[in-house]
Amino acid sequence: MEVVILPDQDKVAAAAADAVEALLRAAPDAVLGLATGSSPLPVYGELARRRAGQGLDFARVRGFGLDEYVGLPAGHPQSYAEVLRREFAVPLGIDPGRIRVPDGTAADLPAACRDFEQAIHDSGGVDLQLLGVGTDGHIGFNEPASSLMSRTRIKTLTEQTRRDNARFFAGLPEVPHHVVTQGLGTILEARHVVLLATGAQKAQAVHDLVEGPLAAICPASVLQLHPHATVLLDEAAASGLALADYYRQTYETKPSWQGL
């Protein structure tokens, strides 16, 4: 796991955009794994600026969303399919049909989850997976005690996550209890995982995922098993790390040709 501590959220977004740009320059038809929540939004904004200013072409990109609320009607502003259409596909000039999100409206949710897994497999797999992290250590919507080998399936949100996400809804009662999410085993199959965390409210989860034991109580700690995981942090999110100076020194002395 590579831990990169940067001065602020803009630098974190720029570093993640650098990784996406390098991938797309080499493989314009790359498959991206797409996160929602607030953390990746500055990355999508930065990529849109690079599209306009530096001729970065996203038209052939395909994408898979991490997760979705169960029961929100198609087009609901907080449905993650709609968030990714609005915040990612449209600004980057990608046909929204090239972005697939787990279907939270299907009558047969387990079958829809299996179809989603098959679609990732048929695409050749995710080249670069962007991730945020919940304050309880979840990635996607894999809440604490998720199986470390899990596949796309239905989960129940913790009250902590429902409260965290209530800011996007009219109020807590509006936040669904159930979701469908890529599993931890699914996420681990992405060839490169880039997790972003900013702000002091993420410091505990970041400590647990980077320096804590590999344990389902912190689902993001499963990234300790990944051969190519990059964790991009601002100073506040990194404030609980015991080895912060070591991570800084490692990054400062890294050869520039190496990339993330």
Closest CB to ligand GLP among residues 43, 56: 43
Closest CB to ligand GLP among residues 39, 152: 39
Residue 227 in tokens: 């051969």
Q: Catalogue the long-range contacts made by 250-256 (C-beta closer than 8 Å, 24 or more residues apart).
A: 250/2, 250/3, 251/2, 251/3, 251/4, 251/5
CA–CA dist 31, 23 (Å, integer): 10
Is residue 218 a contact partner of residue 208, using CB atoms and an 8 Å limit?
yes
Closest CB to ligand GLP among residues 39, 230: 39
Count of all residues that appear for the chain in the document: 260
Active site residues: 67, 136, 138, 143
Is residue 21 a contact partner of residue 44, using CB atoms and an 8 Å limit?
no
Q: Considering the complex, what minimum distance in angstroms separates the CB of residue 253 from ligand GLP?
A: 30
Q: Considering the complex, what minimum distance in angstroms separates the CB of residue 175 from ligand GLP?
A: 10
Residue 97 in tokens: 């049909």
CA–CA dist 202, 164 (Å, integer): 12
> Please, which residues bridge with residue 231 across strands?
3, 195
- The DSSP line for 65-121 is ESEEESSPPTT-TTSHHHHHIIIIIHHHT--GGGEE---SS-SSHHHHHHHHHHHHH
Question: Which residues here bind ligand GLP, judged by CB under 6 A?
Answer: 35-39, 66-67, 132-134, 140-141, 161, 165
Q: Considering the complex, what minimum distance in angstroms separates the CB of residue 227 from ligand GLP?
A: 22
Closest CB to ligand GLP among residues 68, 127: 68
Q: Considering the complex, what minimum distance in angstroms separates the CB of residue 53 from ligand GLP?
A: 26
Closest CB to ligand GLP among residues 56, 112: 112
Q: Considering the complex, what minimum distance in angstroms separates the CB of residue 111 from ligand GLP?
A: 22
The residues, ordered by sequence, that sit 6+ positions from 98 with a Cβ below 8 Å of its Cβ are: 61, 62, 63, 89
